């Protein structure tokens, strides 16, 4: 029903997406279920929690320009090449990214619009909020369509109105930011010559220290204010789950992106695990100079709006954002006061396992806790997508629970555990059995695995 009918055979159809024509080719791997979420634009729906979160973050960046309706289908050049992704970067693969054709993808991040926006030379800074698309894991904090906000701020080295060094000017901007008193763990030195080098042809260490301080303080302020708003909203009732009474904890960890150096991710403690909420860094000079801004330098970040909204409203499952159930939507309003989400009663989970032999003998790359991919063409994201195709939002979680290679034949066996659960009602046994049976059949049909 929801299967993509374009990727097999040689008659590749022309398709029209919101009035725009596209030619498909053998790279097309975008299912209809994904295309049908393009018109939703949750970040623009009045009173939707994603939209409220966007507005709350925007209010922290006065003077920035907003771009909130950029079209989600972009070129490979925009999404990857312009950002220095190497040709063999795994993010480019069809297992990770939805392609329309060889040169055209559903954007995987809002960074796809960085270069074009820099080229428009927006002086102070800009924010871009948008829907983004990735073939990814299935669990409570991952969804194949989600929303990001990109932010960037640059300074002009040749600013004619400036009478001090650029570093002094940036430090003055840091001093003008609101302060906070929270201890944020940030153990790594700003510059790591091996993994996060200074772009020494273009920046001084002091300029980078100043920009890093400006970037980190700006983002800490956003997360702290969100958490404070959420705390105030949940202050009165006494029956809060214990994790909501834990103090806010966040930490900076070093990261790597092909388009920033140095780079970081910010993580927040959520339901007893560290949840990554954003990636950021000092913009690679090559991106600014390719956009005709060679005298500029600055920072950029990309934040997951669902992740922030989950903290803000205590929303326990990322699928809820797509719900059209008035019991969900009616709980949020821009006009009313901030309220934490009151979950409707939790319906029972239904766990079902499936074990199969992977086609061919591929070495056990990845493994439990890692991503399972083998040279034999098997990729875990294909399992995830089939689960979503078959069960839609009735699948809560898909997890690898066992893996082994046969000592004699070298064949690899995997066992995945699927949790079927509706957010809105109790599934019947008949329903979940049917879903699981279809899931098993589709694994065989589409991946050529052998069920055990
Ligand atoms: C990026 O997408 C970079 N473009 C961010 C960036 C921008 C870095 C500018 C430097 C400069 P990453 O893949 O880590 O990075 O995603 C950014 C955020 O999106 C994550 O921190 C997380 O909050 C959110 N996110 C990622 N994958 C998912 C998913 N499947 N579901 C929901 N949120 C997700
Ligand atoms: Mg990341």
Nearest C-alpha neighbor of 398 from the set 430, 344, 352:
352
Segment 23-43 shows an average pLDDT of 96
Q: Which of 43, 109, 211 to mutate to test the pocket of ligand 1 (most atoms within 8 A of CB)?
A: 109
State yes or no: pLDDT of 320 exceeds 80: yes
State yes or no: pLDDT of 10 exceeds 70: no
Dihedral Cα 315, 318, 324, 327, nearest 10 deg:
-20
| 3-class DSSP assignment, residue 117 | helix
Q: Residue 114, exposed/middle/buried by CB under 10 A (0-12, 13-18, 19+)?
A: buried
Name the strand (E) or helix (H) holding 276.
Answer: strand 273-283
Average pLDDT of the chain to the nearest whole number? 90
Q: Which of 304, 317, 380 to mutate to test the pocket of ligand 1 (most atoms within 8 A of CB)?
A: 304
Q: How many CA atoms lie within 13 A of 288 on its CB side?
A: 25
Ligand 2 centroid–CA 387 distance in Å is 23
The per-residue pLDDT for 242 is: 44
- Between the CA of residue 220 and those of 177, 209, 250, 268, 307, what are the distances in Å? 11, 16, 9, 11, 15
State the Cα–Cα distance between residues 302 and 152, nearest whole angstrom. 9
* Residue 122 confidence class, pLDDT cut points 50, 70, 90: confident
Count the Cβ atoms, other than its own, within 10 Å of residue 40.
16
- Over residues 254-283, the pLDDT tens digits come to 999 999 999 999 999 987 889 999 999 999
Residues 6+ apart with CB under 8 A from 151: 61, 64, 125, 126, 127, 128, 300, 301, 302, 303
Segment 167-179 shows an average pLDDT of 96
User: Which token pair is 45?
Assistant: 């729906």
CB 347 within 8 A of CB 396: no
State the Cα–Cα distance between residues 212 and 45, nearest whole angstrom. 33
Number of H helices, E strands in the chain: 11, 16
C-alpha 6, offset from chain centre? 26
State yes or no: pLDDT of 235 exceeds 60: no
The per-residue pLDDT for 360 is: 66
The per-residue pLDDT for 4 is: 46
Ligand 2 centroid–CA 75 distance in Å is 22
Ligand 2 centroid–CA 144 distance in Å is 15
Ligand 1 centroid–CA 90 distance in Å is 15
Q: Write phi, then psi, for 398 (nearest 5 degrees).
A: -130, 125
- Over residues 66-83, the pLDDT tens digits come to 999 999 999 999 999 999
Strands 250-254 and 145-156: unpaired
- DSSP type of residue 340: -
**Residue bearing the CA closest to ligand 1, atom 21:** 278
Segment 22-29 shows an average pLDDT of 96
User: Which token pair is 140?
Assistant: 């409570």
Its sign, for the CA torsion 27, 33, 38, 41, is negative
Ligand 2 centroid–CA 265 distance in Å is 7
| 3-class DSSP assignment, residue 277 | strand
Nearest C-alpha neighbor of 2 from the set 385, 352, 354:
385
The per-residue pLDDT for 245 is: 58
State yes or no: pLDDT of 308 exceeds 60: yes
The per-residue pLDDT for 367 is: 40
Paired residues of 264 in beta bridges: 254, 280
State the Cα–Cα distance between residues 87 and 43, nearest whole angstrom. 32
Q: Which of 256, 302, 321 to mutate to test the pocket of ligand 1 (most atoms within 8 A of CB)?
A: 302
| Max avg pLDDT among 120-124, 162-166, 216-220 | 216-220
- Domains, the chain, with CATH or none: 37-72+107-329 (3.30.930.10), 350-451 (3.30.70.380)
Q: Output the ligand 1 site: residues, CB below 6 A.
A: 109, 111, 134, 136, 142-143, 146, 148, 150, 257, 260, 263, 276-281, 300-302, 304, 306-307
Ligand 2 centroid–CA 42 distance in Å is 22
CB 6 within 8 A of CB 82: no
- Over residues 339-359, the pLDDT tens digits come to 788 888 789 999 999 999 998
**Closest ligand, as measured to the CA of 142:** 1
**Residue bearing the CA closest to ligand 1, atom 2:** 109
ipTM: 0.99
Segment 308-320 shows an average pLDDT of 91
Segment 131-141 shows an average pLDDT of 94
Residues 6+ apart with CB under 8 A from 338: 229, 230, 232, 233, 312
């Amino acid at each position: 029903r929801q299967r993509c009918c374009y990727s097999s055979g040689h008659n590749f159809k022309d398709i029209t997406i919101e009035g725009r024509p596209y030619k498909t080719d053998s790279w097309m791997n975008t299912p209809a279920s994904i295309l049908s979420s393009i018109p939703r634009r949750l970040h623009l729906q009045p009173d939707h929690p994603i939209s409220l979160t966007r507005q709350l973050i925007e209010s922290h960046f006065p003077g920035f320009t907003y771009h909130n309706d950029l079209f989600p289908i972009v070129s490979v050049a925009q999404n990857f090449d312009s950002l220095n992704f190497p040709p063999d970067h795994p993010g480019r693969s069809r297992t990770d990214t939805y392609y329309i054709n060889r040169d055209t993808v559903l954007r995987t991040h809002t960074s796809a619009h960085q270069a074009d926006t820099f080229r428009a030379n927006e002086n102070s800074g800009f924010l871009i909020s948008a829907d983004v698309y990735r073939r990814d894991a299935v669990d409570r904090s991952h969804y194949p369509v989600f929303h990001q906000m990109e932010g960037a701020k640059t300074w002009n080295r040749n600013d004619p109105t400036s009478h001090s060094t650029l570093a002094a000017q940036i430090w003055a901007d840091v001093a003008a930011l609101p302060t906070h008193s929270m201890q944020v763990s940030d153990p790594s030195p700003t510059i790591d010559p091996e993994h996060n080098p200074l772009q020494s042809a273009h920046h001084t260490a002091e300029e980078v220290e100043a920009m890093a301080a400006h970037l980190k303080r700006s983002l800490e302020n956003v997360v702290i204010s969100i958490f404070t708003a959420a705390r105030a909203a949940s202050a009165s009732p006494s029956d809060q789950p214990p994790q909501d009474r834990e103090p806010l904890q966040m930490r900076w960890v070093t990261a790597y992106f092909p388009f920033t150096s140095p780079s970081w991710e910010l993580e927040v403690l959520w339901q007893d695990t560290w949840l990554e909420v954003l990636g950021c860094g000092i913009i690679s000079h090559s991106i600014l100079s390719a956009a005709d801004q060679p005298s500029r330098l600055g920072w950029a970040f990309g934040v997951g709006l669902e992740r922030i909204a989950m903290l803000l409203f205590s929303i326990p499952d990322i699928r809820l954002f797509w719900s059209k159930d008035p019991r969900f939507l009616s709980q949020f309003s821009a006009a009313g006061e901030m309220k934490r989400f009151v979950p409707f009663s939790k319906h029972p989970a239904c766990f079902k396992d499936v074990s199969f032999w992977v086609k061919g003998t591929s070495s056990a790359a990845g493994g439990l806790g890692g991503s399972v991919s083998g040279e034999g063409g098997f990729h875990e994201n294909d399992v995830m997508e089939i689960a979503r195709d078959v069960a839609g939002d009735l699948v809560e979680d898909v997890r690898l629970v066992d893996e082994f290679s046969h000592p004699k034949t070298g064949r690899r066996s995997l066992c995945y555990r699927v949790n079927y659960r509706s957010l809105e009602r109790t599934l019947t046994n008949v329903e979940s059995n049917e879903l699981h049976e279809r899931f098993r059949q589709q694994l065989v049909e589409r991946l050529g695995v052998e069920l055990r």
